[in-house]
Structures are given as structure tokens and as C-alpha cells.
Amino acid sequence: MGTILFFLNWWLLSISASSGVCAVLYTTTLISGFFSLLASGLWISRLLKNNLLEDVFNTENESFMQETKLMENEYSVNLPTKFWYRGKTYNGFINLVNIFRATMILGTPGSGKSYAIVNQFIKQTIEKSYALYIYDFKFDDLSVIAYNHLLKYRHRYKVPPKFYVINFDNPRKSHRCNPLSPELMTDISDAYESSYTIMLNLNKSWVQKQGDFFVESPIVLFTAIIWFLKLYENGKYCTFPHAIELLNKRYEDVFTILTSYPELENYLSPFIDAWKGGASEQLMGQIASAKIPLSRLISPQLYWVMSGSDFTLDINNPKEPKVLCVGNNPDRISIYGAALGLYNSRIVKLINKKKQMKSCVIIDELPTIFFKGLDNLIATARSNKVAVVLGFQDFSQLKRDYGDKEAAVIMSTVGNVFSGQVVGETAKTLSERFGKILQKRESMSINRNDTSTSINTQLDSLIPASKISTLSQGIFVGAVADNFGEIIEQKIFHAQIVVDNEAVQKETAAYQPIPEISSFLDAEGNDTMEQQIQANYRQIKQDIVELVENELIRIESDPELKHLLSEN
């Protein structure tokens, strides 16, 4: 309006009226237009001077000072970072001075978990002389890094560790290891834990049904078979493949043999009662619950790897330290997961002991595998210098595959947390974990006459769930734990983890592939891998046939046990 009155009033001078009237009209509109322009200019200047939408995402309020000092000790893992605070970019560090309080790494696929964090854990723990166990879901992504870094830093260990690989896909690049080695099982509870782990890996839905009759029955039956093989001739045939083969023999023969051992009577009483009581349908259902899932594991290559004994699973033995990588295959999770879960559960049991060297267990893509005792390992391993690193996508995935109770324990007991982009309940849970911060709130009211400003403070989320759900690749939020004497003032972080991409590319280009471990060449240079693996497969089957025959002969010739045959 001011523009019209001030600039477009010239025509008033030419209207058909006296010159005095024209002058008054022209002067009035000119003055009115001038003051209108002056008032609007003042109002616009207030709006421009006080930009109310300068920080629409509340970035400045939600930024905070983070750790800029490097805090390093003989156990620590340290990650360089860049973060934003009060309009400036700062260089900082995420200092994991106590990795024995466990570490949890979350993030959707592609958020940078492995590249920015897991790879650094592998490298820095090897540089600091840790014994290492790595579950490599996409073999050999992590294993190649571990192998080449060990070649470079092996000299730092007091006793140089040996590098071992378990790989069912390629027996040439795999060692052989018996996870049911009789020397490492001291009680029938060890057999139960192994059976429990195998069955729950084969039947993930059983995690939610623990304690049910048709869940516990196959676990108990397979426990009895494992422990029998431990007792038979000092564990001569105590391997996972032999246990599967024995389970698949006639149940009349199997129960006759097992009940001849007093140590197994209590374990088998439900089956024997059903057998003698004529409840054949119930008994067959119990046996089938074990046979059907285990039949998926009948594989010559798997039998080959799990029936040998190139090394033991006590990876943190100070006299024989090891770096062990076990490889899975995303296309064969349902088959390999159970066997690898058995290695996991045995290692968890063996390494969590006093007077062993420091060690690190790195489980990438945790929900793809189940092993009993993970929550207990996290809770107790700190005193035995065992660091646990768990990578997965979000909490809902963990709850689905481990059950609500065990997942809740794992989430609550982990001391160090990293999170890339996650959404939903996981983002909300993490936001609550990081707490609140006192934030300044400024409100401004502008009118024609005046500008009023109101400033107050209120507690609000330090890192809101909305921020966590939109994090860019390589940017992580989280919190770290500290030590007595190594106090970290600001434990929470929201920063980009700095990775020297050029240096990583050069290092990767120079990597050596994991060499062939087993040679299947005969004296004439012919490749006999298939023949040797098939021969081993047939030998295991023959071992069990002979075992059953010999045991039945023994029972028949023993006056105190002979009645077991007549009861069949």
C-alpha cells in the first residue's frame, strides 16, 4: 500500500479539480506512502535481523562437547572422530578404555558398522596382543583382515599365536576341529549345553518355547547320546558327526545301549517310560523332534571338518594362543548356523576362566546364530579379561532370535554402545539411554510496534530418536564405559568416525589371500579331496555300525544287562 501511495499518486495532479485540492491530495498520499514504507521497512528489518528459522532442526541445541583427548591403555580401542559443536567442527576420540565391559554395535545394513568399527576392533586388538575369536558371517571379509594384520603384528605377542579357520564351504581352506572333544567336557552339563545350542540353532522358534515337552525332549535325548560317546572307550568316537549317526540308528538299539550306562538312566527315564508303556506315538514324536532337524546337517564336508582335531578351542591359553575365524555362508545359514553355534558355545565356556591371556570375541551379525550363555559371558567375562563385541541391526532382531528375557539382559549389561542409523523402538530406547540435556528455548513475538523475546530452559533429549533414525553412513551415536583412575567426563558421543579411506585401500590391495590349509594331493599329484572326504564320511557311518554291534554283544554277554535285550 505504501508503494502505491508513494509512487503511483502522480495522476492526482492532473485531475479536474482546483490546484489547491490537487496539491492537498497529492501531499497527503505522498506523506502517507512515505510513513507506510518506513514502517514496513522497520518491520522487515526486524524479521531479517531475528531469523526465527535459522536452526530448523535444532542442531545447535542438540550438539555438545565431546571427548577430544586420546586416552589409551594396554587394553583400549581408540577411534578418531569429528563432531560439530557451536558452529565449529572439532577432532575427537572415542576411547574404549574398558572393552571388557562388552561392546554392542547397532545399525541398519550399510550404516558402516563393519567398516568403521568392527574392522578397527580386529586390527587394534591384534596390535595389542589379544587372542581372538571372530564369527565371520560373510566369510572371508573379516578373516582376511585378521590374517594379514596378524602377519604384520605377530611379533608383539609373547608367544606368537597360530591362525585357524573353520570353513565348511571349502575344506582346502579350513582346519578341522572337534567341538565335542572329550578332553574339554568334564560334566554332563557340558553335553547338555552343546545339545541345547545345536537344537535351538536348528529351530529358532524354540527359543520362545524353552521348557516345553517337545522342546526339551530332543535336547535331553541328544545330550544322552553325546555323553555316551564321551564315556565309550574314552571318547574315541565323541564327535558331532558320530552323534548324528548314532541318533539315526534303530531307537530300540539306541535305548538298549544307553540304558546300560547308569550315568544316563535319569536322563532317559521319560523315553523309557513311554517305550515300556506302549506310548509308541509319543516316543516316535520325541525322537523325530531330534532326528528331523539334525538330518539337515548330514553333509560329507561338515563331517570332515567336525571330525578332525587340528587344534583345541581354548583360544586364550597363554601357552598356545590362537586367532580363530569361523565362516558362515548367508545362503546356508540354517545348515551351518547350528554347527557354528556349537563352536561358539564351547568357546564361551572355555575362555571364561582365570589365569588366561586377554582375549576378544567378535560376533558380527549376532542374530544369525544362537549360543547359550552369551548373557552370562557378558556379565562375568570382565574379571577374566574377555572382551565381547556384538554386531547386529536392531533390538527387535535380537528379541526375535534370543527371546525377550535374554535380549533384555544383553541390552542392559553391555557397557559400550555404538549405533548407526536405526529406527522405531530401537531408536527410542537408545535416546532414553543417552538421557536428557538442559536446552535453551527462545521465543520471539514481532508486531508493528514492538519485538518481545522470551528465553527459558528445559530438559530435552540429548540425542532424539528422530536424529538416530536419520544418521548418515559413518556417523554414530553411543556411550562408553570408563575405569577407576581413567574417568571419561563425557561418555556420550555423536560423531563421524574417521577412517582414512586411501590408507585402507592401499592396505587392502596389499593383502594376501588366506592360503590353502589342507592339501589333498596324493604322491602322484592328483587331487583326491572328494575321495578323502567321502571316505571319512563312510568311515564315520561304519564306526557307528560297529559300535552298535559291539555294544549289543557286550550287553548280551553280561548277565546283569542281558535282560535289557529281552525287554525290547
Q: Alpha-carbon distance 121 to 168, whole Å?
A: 25
Order of strands, edge to edge, in the sheet holding 322-327? 88-96, 77-85, 492-497, 475-479, 416-419, 103-106, 386-392, 359-363, 131-136, 322-327, 162-167
Q: Alpha-carbon distance 461 to 450, whole Å?
A: 33
Whole-number pLDDT of residue 246: 93
Q: Would you tell me the crossing angle of helices 395-402 and 404-413 to the nearest 10 degrees?
A: 130
Cell numbers at residue 53, please? 528459522
One-letter-per-residue 3-state SS of 72-112: CCCCCEEEEEEEEECCEEEEEEEEECCHHHCEEEECCCCCC
pLDDT at 30 over 70: no
How many angstroms separate the first and last alpha carbons of the chain? Answer: 108
Kindly report, residue by residue over 289-303, the tens digit of the pLDDT: 788 888 888 889 999
Whole-number pLDDT of residue 99: 93
Q: Are 548 and 249 in contact (CB under 8 A)?
A: yes
Identify residue 289 by its one-letter amino acid code. S
Identify residue 341 by its one-letter amino acid code. G
For residue 318, which phi and psi values (nearest 5 degrees)? -60, -25
Q: Alpha-carbon distance 560 to 247, whole Å?
A: 25
Report the share of the chain in percent with pLDDT over 90: 41
pLDDT at 455 over 70: no
Cell numbers at residue 324, please? 580363530
Cell numbers at residue 199, please? 537344537
pLDDT at 47 over 60: no
For residue 504, which phi and psi values (nearest 5 degrees)? -65, -40
Whole-number pLDDT of residue 345: 83
Q: Alpha-carbon distance 319 to 104, whole Å?
A: 30
Whole-number pLDDT of residue 560: 82
Find cell 560423531 and name the residue.
495
Kindly report, residue by residue over 518-535, the tens digit of the pLDDT: 888 777 878 888 999 999
Q: Which residues pair with 479 in a beta bridge?
A: 417, 492
Q: Are 120 and 79 in contact (CB under 8 A)?
A: yes
Whole-number pLDDT of residue 10: 57
Instruction: Name the 3-class secondary structure at 7.
Output: helix
Whole-number pLDDT of residue 91: 94
pLDDT at 316 over 90: yes
CA angle (527, 529, 530) in 5-degree steps: 115
Mean local confidence (pLDDT), 51-64: 64
Question: 85-94, 198-207, 327-336, 381-390: which range is least confident on average?
Answer: 198-207
Whole-number pLDDT of residue 133: 95
For the chain, percent helix, then strand, then coil, each to nearest 5?
55, 15, 30
CATH class assigned to 62-177+310-509 = alpha beta
Q: Alpha-carbon distance 488 to 479, whole Å?
A: 10
Kindly report, residue by residue over 115-131, the tens digit of the pLDDT: 999 999 999 999 999 99
Instruction: Name the 3-class secondary structure at 261.
Output: coil
Find cell 538421557 and name the residue.
435
Mean local confidence (pLDDT), 429-447: 74
Residue 341 or 105, more confident = 105
Mean pLDDT of the chain, nearest integer: 84
pLDDT at 446 over 60: no
Whole-number pLDDT of residue 199: 86
Q: Alpha-carbon distance 130 to 79, whole Å?
A: 18
Whole-number pLDDT of residue 292: 83
Whole-number pLDDT of residue 284: 76
Cell numbers at residue 4, please? 502505491
Continuous segment of H or E residues that includes residue 453: strand 451-461
Kindly report, residue by residue over 218-258, the tens digit of the pLDDT: 888 899 999 999 999 899 999 999 999 999 998 888 888 88
Q: Alpha-carbon distance 179 to 335, whole Å?
A: 16
Q: Where do the domains of the chain lie?
A: 2-49, 62-177+310-509, 182-300+528-566
pLDDT at 57 over 80: no
Whole-number pLDDT of residue 256: 86
Question: 11-15, 132-136, 561-565: which range is least confident on average?
Answer: 11-15
Distances (CA, A) of 231 to 237, 258, 311, 550: 10, 11, 21, 15
Residue 411 or 57, more confident = 411
Cell numbers at residue 522, please? 596324493
* Residue 532 C-alpha from the chain's centroid: 36
Of the candidates 285, 299, 360, 436, the residue with the CA atom closest to the CA atom of residue 102? 360
For 322-385, list the strands marked E by DSSP. Answer: 322-327, 359-363
Q: Alpha-carbon distance 352 to 53, whole Å?
A: 55
Mean local confidence (pLDDT), 552-563: 85
Dump the DSSP string for 29-53.
Answer: HHHHHHHHHHHHHHHHHHHHHS-TT
Of the candidates 342, 322, 299, the residue with the CA atom closest to the CA atom of residue 202? 342
Whole-number pLDDT of residue 297: 86
Whole-number pLDDT of residue 568: 54
